[in-house]
């Protein structure tokens, strides 16, 4: 029972104290948790300028002391990747210590997917989805991360406009992304938040995970992407069972 993607009040988009997230983890039988609070360099983003590394490390230390013997607590970070900010990301990470660095694509250009009423209307389906995978590809190419998060996150809101997500038209670029993940020794995240959202399936879905396995990928992490204490550990059992069924038996705490 490992949850490798949890947020706390050290993220600009989360109000959940670390202590509450840890209590919830213990109550649900989670034995290993990784906090992955947001690091953003886009000035328009809600989380821009919010993350305080020194405060974060202190809070990690506090919960490690409080839950010693009950819960293994890892210090991670979720970096919002954009090519524009790669040098800033590199500079920031150079003198920081994290157990786990998770790379994530949330933007296409200067528009965050969460602003879906701005991004999706008026676009043909390929026009909306293909640029997202270009950003995810660039994140994988950067070589900055231990794992790649929610690789088909574009479907979170896209399904509201185009119906069920069909990844096959983007199989070529998705395969490029997966090959890079494998070649660089990264892990591919299975993010269970999609089970609680409109797609009603993980990010990525089973088809992409089967392709990853067929290409030789074996290393996965599983995370709830919880922003509320009650969501810590949500979907972990289902995702673990799916991973094992596909042949992805190497569920990592982190890919270091």
Q: Specify the pLDDT at position 255.
A: 43
Query: Which tokens belong to 17?
Result: 């104290």
d(CA 219, CA 204): 14
Nearest C-alpha neighbor of 154 from the set 137, 131, 187: 131
d(CA 253, CA 256): 9
In sign, the C-alpha dihedral spanning 35, 253, 24, 157 is positive
Residue pLDDT tens, the chain, 256 long: 899 999 999 999 999 999 999 999 999 999 999 999 999 999 988 889 999 999 999 999 999 999 999 999 999 999 999 999 999 999 999 999 999 999 999 999 888 988 999 999 999 999 999 999 999 999 999 999 999 999 999 999 999 999 999 999 999 999 999 999 999 999 999 999 999 999 999 999 999 999 999 999 999 999 999 999 999 999 999 999 999 999 998 777 654 4
Count of other CB atoms within 10 angstroms of residue 195: 16
Query: Which tokens belong to 109?
Result: 């250009």
Domain boundaries, the chain: 2-251
Architecture of domain 2-251: Alpha-Beta Barrel (3.20)
pTM here?
0.95
């Amino acid at each position: 029972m490992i949850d490798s993607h949890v947020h706390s009040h050290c993220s600009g988009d989360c109000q959940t104290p670390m202590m509450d997230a840890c209590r919830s983890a213990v109550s649900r039988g989670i034995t290993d948790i990784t906090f992955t609070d947001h690091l953003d360099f886009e000035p328009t983003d809600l989380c821009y300028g919010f993350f305080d590394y020194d405060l974060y490390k202190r809070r990690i230390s506090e919960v490690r002391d409080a839950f010693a013997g009950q819960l293994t607590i890892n210090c991670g970070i979720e970096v919002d990747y954009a090519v524009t900010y790669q040098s800033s990301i590199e500079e920031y990470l150079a003198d920081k210590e994290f157990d786990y660095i998770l790379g994530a694509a949330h933007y296409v250009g200067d528009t965050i997917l969460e602003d879906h009423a701005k991004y999706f209307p008026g676009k043909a389906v390929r026009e909306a989805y293909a640029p997202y995978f270009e950003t995810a590809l660039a994140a994988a190419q950067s070589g900055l991360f231990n794992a790649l998060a929610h690789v088909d996150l574009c479907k979170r809101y896209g399904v509201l406009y185009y119906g069920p997500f069909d990844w096959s038209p983007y199989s070529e670029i998705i395969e490029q992304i997966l090959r890079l993940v494998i070649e660089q020794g990264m892990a591919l995240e299975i993010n269970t938040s999609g089970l609680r959202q409109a797609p009603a399936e993980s990010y990525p879905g089973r088809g992409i995970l089967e392709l990853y396995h067929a290409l030789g990928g074996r290393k996965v992490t599983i995370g709830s992407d919880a922003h509320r204490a009650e969501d810590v550990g949500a979907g972990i059992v289902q995702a673990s069972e799916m991973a094992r069924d596909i042949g992805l038996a190497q569920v990592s705490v982190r890919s270091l």
